[in-house]
Structure 1
């Protein structure tokens, strides 16, 4: 199954079961992605880390993630869109996925769908397929509505996974906002206090909220976001370690080197050589 729509304002939405064979979509660095295994298994490399996905597992990825399909043994579906088609930042109040389903860390959201959850998403996919057959001036907006419904359904499934009941939505939104702020400011702000101030909360309150939902500590989230960006710059650009340390806001190369070794148990040069060799 393959469908792709480009709008006059450079918006793109696509659904395909052959993403690994579509070089055009693979080269497009602006796309958000849902990758959903329908049958069998799928090996996906995200930022040089291979994930083995099984039937009814789904991951959600941002344009920051470097993705390659390494092995297909079954059937999968990829749902893709860019910000020009639907901006999750501008419509956050509608879908509540920013900083939750989508964030810049290499620790991506991974959902295991129950039969009922899979059926809910299947019905949306069927509606999408039906709308693809209708060629009129209303199609673009209809596809946007269907995409929004798909995102909201995935957000609800993820909330169920984290036991976010209606009475705790406001507290969970603080966590989402924390992730969004980290994505925006991790290069210059590396302390929990910085983000707590922006959220008008105390660092202890933020830490307690992360503990409540069994998430990594807020400081770990900041460090993982910095580390993810460091790895992307090391692997996918020709920038030197010194240039990367400056981009990421470290006071000098030595400080950056210590941080990287603490996070990864190997030096910058060792990591780059090993990953390039593999």
Structure 2
């Protein structure tokens, strides 16, 4: 497996080709703790958490450490995977630079994919090629040069993501509406285990709960309560299928003192109880592996 990596003073960034040689290790736990950017051409099928995505052309995927990635089918051409840790580049600390938190990563629809229009593919390809060149040069300025290319990649991808996923919703809205949307998603990601109600987030945003709800309605977005609950249920699903925790333990870990209430919420949102969801998912996975 051909892997390039910079690892110094706790800061790590690396790149590898996505092909038959690397498939097993990419689908393992090896890169789970890293922030990941996948660049794939047509013919790939990948699974992120519980959703399947198929590529019909150049496509970028942005995977957070808490998301579970699995490449199900390889495309005709190798892809590229860039992986890095927060010490190398933390999007929260550098939010003013790239403004991608809540959009590329940790967005309300858990949508990690950005399709690359034909007119932009050359530029994206150039950025990945330059990063590859820097790894080969091994120059003293490697760290800063690669960080520069990574920032350009995130900025360009954020622009594409907004057009593709907010078109007809907020694309023509004032920029402060977009920032309001981003701020809410950032707060949900940070606090969903402790704060379950719209009023909790309205307090953090220094507005009335009705104002928050009305603003989302005006923007044509899902209601804040649905966004909060969907994030909680997504985490519950991850814990059910990727850990041995009981439904009761999961309820407590997500801030619910009444496990029965949590189980009813899960049933309402998914159509099945936690134990049923776990059994069904694991059964399907075992069938696939046979």
Aligned: 1:52 with 2:54: yes
Q: Secondary structure at the match of 2:129?
A: helix
- Displacement of 1:9: 2.4
The runs of at least 4 consecutive aligned structure 1 residues that moved more than 4 Å come to 163-167
Deviations 1:56-97 (A, max 9, x none): 233211000111111113233322222121111111111101
Relative to structure 1, the CA distance from residue 204 to residue 15 in structure 2 (aligned partners, 3 Å threshold; closer, same or farther) is: farther
Relative to structure 1, the CA distance from residue 241 to residue 60 in structure 2 (aligned partners, 3 Å threshold; closer, same or farther) is: same
1:14 matched residue in structure 2: 14
Q: Paired residue for 2:86, among 64, 83, 86? A: 83
2:212 matched residue in structure 1: 206
Relative to structure 1, the CA distance from residue 24 to residue 155 in structure 2 (aligned partners, 3 Å threshold; closer, same or farther) is: closer
Relative to structure 1, the CA distance from residue 41 to residue 193 in structure 2 (aligned partners, 3 Å threshold; closer, same or farther) is: same
Structure 2 length-normalised TM: 0.87
Q: For structure 2, list consecutive stretches of 5 or more residues without a partner in the other structure.
A: 285-290
Q: For structure 1, list consecutive stretches of 5 or more residues without a partner in the other structure.
A: none
Q: Secondary structure at the match of 2:44?
A: strand
Aligned: 1:190 with 2:193: no
CA RMSD of aligned residues (A): 2.3
Structure 1 length-normalised TM: 0.90
Relative to structure 1, the CA distance from residue 68 to residue 109 in structure 2 (aligned partners, 3 Å threshold; closer, same or farther) is: closer
Deviations 1:184-243 (A, max 9, x none): 111121111211211123334433443455432211111111011101111111111111
Aligned: 1:272 with 2:274: no
Tell me how many residue pairs correspond in the alignment.
277
Q: Paired residue for 1:217, among 219, 223, 232? A: 223
For residues 155 and 94 of structure 1, what CA distance do their matches in structure 2 show? Answer: 11
- Displacement of 1:29: 2.2
- Displacement of 1:4: 2.7
For residues 195 and 68 of structure 1, what CA distance do their matches in structure 2 show? Answer: 33
Aligned: 1:242 with 2:244: no
For residues 143 and 212 of structure 1, what CA distance do their matches in structure 2 show? Answer: 41
For residues 75 and 48 of structure 2, what CA distance do their matches in structure 1 show? Answer: 18
Contact 1:33 1:62 in 2 (8 A): yes
For residues 172 and 243 of structure 1, what CA distance do their matches in structure 2 show? Answer: 36
Relative to structure 1, the CA distance from residue 105 to residue 47 in structure 2 (aligned partners, 3 Å threshold; closer, same or farther) is: farther
Larger % of strand: which? 1
- Displacement of 1:3: 4.4
